[in-house]
Amino acid sequence: MLPSVKSFQRSVEKFRQVFGTDPEIVTFAPGRVNLIGEHTDYNEGFVLPIAVDRYLCVAARMRDDKIVKIVAADLNDSDEFSLDNFDRDPQSNWRNYPRGVAWTIQQNGIELKGMDAVVASDIPIGAGLSSSAAIEVGFALTFLHFAEVDVPRPTLAQWCQLAEHKFAGVQCGIMDQMIALLGKENHALLLDCRDLSHQLVPLPKGIAFVVADTGVPRTLAASEYNIRRQQCEEAVQWLSKLVGKSVKSLRDVTVEDLGTVFHEMPEPIRRRARHVVTENNRVLAFQRAMRELALKRAGSLLLASHASLRDDYEVSCLELDAMVKVLMSIDGVYGARLTGAGFGGACLAVVREDAIERVLEETPKKYKAALGNSSPEPTLFAVRSSDGATVQRLTD
Ligand code: GLA
């Protein structure tokens, strides 16, 4: 159990208050930070995320009927539906995640039990730490625990992803759900999104991760994200005609392939493709650099990833660019880049462990000075790598 986790305490207290009894279990689902490999997952490419020590907690008790009652402790909101008859809720965002996973699990022939639940989260919403995968994974494991069914975690990740497609309307890739389920302390997860094969990459000692939220809400994230996905599909169509080999996804294309036909492809499709193809190489180079303790090299790869996301994929913004520049001006920062889907949200910085305090203190001042009066309020915090989601029993 992790009694020091704040969302754990809030979920349990609220559960007692609302339902007048203790929860049976609490499911912990971590947020994630992607070290490198952005917008590659839905192109069957490589990603290298870590799960982080910010958790969403679901405190729950099974019911004898098919009713699901959920209280969102931090949102002052609740939901109630019957597992026999429910749909997406067009009025709400968060309600569609528990509903979505209940739907995909039942679609796979598993009979679910009703439950009373309280959800609380320490993962900031909209910062790019994938609070959405955490809520999917948190509820999926809770439902399965009460149904007494074990599903292999990669399969469960796919079910959660489908829930997000069908119920939340975002055509996300598989990275976030995989890392929330398969993360390991002191390791990053090198994931091949083509076949979901994965390996743990040990993290060097003496480095730390800082999340620097720009304070810019990711308002365009859902719509622009889906547009980028379509553009990648268009790129595949062009490349399968132009390159003399079978191209089913951008994963099948090398930098050399793209170089030979780049000028025959239209804008912005060709730059979208260039980002994905070069980013895949950067993921592999970065994980090698981590294993070889080549931190300067790793840092340069982070910067190259940011430049590619800014110039070729066009998912950065003024504030994310300013944040990267500011972070790089501070002694002890190896590299920085936007992390997650982009269009606002946060940057990740890989820093020397002994530089954390300095980075947390100096960055906000410098960021505000760089952006002047129009500067949004940044939030910075250090994160540690963590294990994937777990279900913990409370009553003996
Ligand atoms: C979001 C999606 C992921 C991934 C990233 C971009 O976080 O949920 O699947 O595509 O954006 O790398």
Q: Provide the phi-psi class of 92: left if phi over 0, else alpha when psi is between -120 and 50, else beta.
A: beta
pLDDT of residue 280: 98
Q: What is the DSSP letter of 264?
A: G
Chain centre distance of CA 324: 19
What's the burial of 27, exposed, middle or buried (CB within 10 Å: 0-12/13-18/19+)? buried
319: pLDDT strictly greater than 80: yes
Nearest Cα neighbor of 279 from 33, 32, 31, 48 is 48
How many other C-beta atoms can be found within 10 angstroms of the C-beta atom of residue 321? 17
- For 323-352, how does the pLDDT look when each residue is reduced to its tens digit (9 = 90+)? 999 999 999 999 999 999 999 999 999 999
User: C-alpha angle 51/54/58, rounded to 5°?
Assistant: 100
Query: 67 - beta bridge partners?
Result: 82
Q: Report the pLDDT value the prediction gives residue 146, as an integer from 0 to 100.
A: 98
Report, as residue numbers or ranges, the catalytic residues.
176
- 67-72 and 115-121 as β-strands: parallel, antiparallel, unpaired? parallel
Q: Is the pLDDT of residue 219 over 80?
A: no
Does the C-beta of 338 come closer than 6 Å to ligand 1? no
Whole-angstrom Cα distance, residue 297 to residue 116?
Answer: 50
Lookup result for tokens 């754990």: 8
What confidence score (pLDDT) does residue 65 get?
Answer: 98
In the predicted model, is pLDDT for residue 396 greater than 60?
A: no
Contact, 174 vs 157, CB < 8 A?
A: yes
Q: Binning pLDDT at 50, 70 and 90, where does residue 2 land?
A: low
Task: State the pLDDT at residue 3.
Answer: 64
Q: What are phi and psi of 170, to 5 degrees?
A: -110, 125
pLDDT, residue 383, reads 97
% of the chain at pLDDT higher than 70: 98
In tens, the pLDDT along 167-209 reads 988 889 999 999 999 999 999 999 999 999 999 999 999 999 9
- Give the model confidence (pLDDT) of 118-164 as tens digits: 999 999 887 789 999 999 999 999 999 999 999 999 999 999 999 99
Percent residues over pLDDT 90 in the chain: 92
Q: How many CB atoms lie within 10 A of CB 36?
A: 30
Ligand 1 test: best mutation among 176, 189, 280, 282, most atoms within 8 Å of CB? 176
**Which are the contacts of 273, defined by CB distance < 8 A and separation ≥ 6?**
232, 235, 238, 239, 250, 253, 258, 265
Single out the residue of 105, 114, 14 nearest to residue 59, CA to CA.
14
193-199 long-range contacts, Cβ below 8 Å, gap at least 24? Answer: 193/40, 193/41, 193/42, 193/43, 193/44, 193/45, 193/46, 193/47, 194/44, 194/45, 194/249, 194/251, 196/154, 196/157
The finding on whether 173 has its CB within 6 A of some atom of ligand 1 is yes
The CB-side HSE value for 239 (13 A sphere, CA atoms) comes to 30
* Ligand 1 near 33 CB (within 6 A): no
Nearest CA to ligand 1 atom 9: 173
**Residue from 224, 225, 276 whose mutation best tests the ligand 1 pocket (most atoms within 8 A of CB):** 225
From the CA of 47, give the closest atom in ligand 1: 12
pLDDT averaged over every residue in the chain? 96
The pLDDT value given to residue 220? 65
Is the distance from the beta carbon of residue 257 to the nearest atom of ligand 1 less than 6 Å?
no
- Structure confidence at residue 374 as a pLDDT band (50, 70, 90): confident
* pLDDT on residue 128: 82
Average pLDDT value for residue range 56-66: 98
pLDDT at position 92 over 90: no
Query: Which protein residue's CA is at the shortest distance from atom 1 of ligand 1?
Result: 341
What is the per-residue pLDDT across 249-295, written as a single tens digit (0 to 9) for each?
Answer: 999 999 999 999 999 999 999 999 999 999 999 999 999 999 999 99
pLDDT attached to residue 389: 98
Whole-model pTM: value is 0.96
Instruction: Tell whether ligand 1 has an atom less than 6 A from the beta carbon of residue 136.
Output: no
Ligand 1 centre distance from Cα of residue 288 (Å): 23
